[in-house]
Homo-oligomer: A and B are copies of this chain.
Amino acid sequence: MQVNSVETLFKKTLANSKLSAKQQAVLQVSLTLFAEQGFDRTSTSEIAKAAGVSEGTVFKQFKTKEGILQAIVNPVLAHVVPMVATEFLDELKTNDLNDLETFLQYAIQDRMMFAVENRLQIKVFAQEMSRNPNIVATLSAKLEAMVAGELGTALQRFKDRGELVDWPNMRIVRYLVGTVASYVLPQIFFAPTADFDAAQASRDALDFLMHGLAPAK
Of chain B, the residue at the smallest CB distance from A129 is: B190
Docked complex: A56-70 residues within 8 A CB-CB of B: none
**A130: contacting residue among B129, B175, B190, B208, CB under 8 A:** B190
Asked if A181 and B179 make an inter-chain contact with CB atoms under 8 angstroms apart, the answer reads no
Binary B-proximity of A164-196 (CB < 8 A = 1, otherwise 0)? 010000010011011101110000011100000
| A198 contact set on B, CB distance < 8 A | none
Q: Is A162 an interface residue (CB 8 A)?
A: no
Q: Which residues of B contact A183 (CB under 8 A)?
A: 174
Copies of this chain, complex-wide, total: 4
B130 touches A189 (CB 8 A): yes
A207 to chain B, nearest CB (A): 9
Who on chain B is nearest to A173 by CB? B182
A interface residues, Cβ below 8 angstroms from B: 38, 40-41, 123, 126, 129-131, 133, 136-137, 165, 171, 174-175, 177-179, 181-183, 189-191, 204, 208-209, 211-214, 216
* Cβ contacts A to B, 20 pairs, < 8 Å: A38-B40, A129-B189, A130-B190, A133-B190, A133-B191, A175-B179, A175-B182, A175-B208, A177-B182, A178-B181, A179-B179, A179-B182, A181-B181, A181-B182, A208-B213, A211-B212, A211-B213, A211-B214, A211-B216, A212-B213
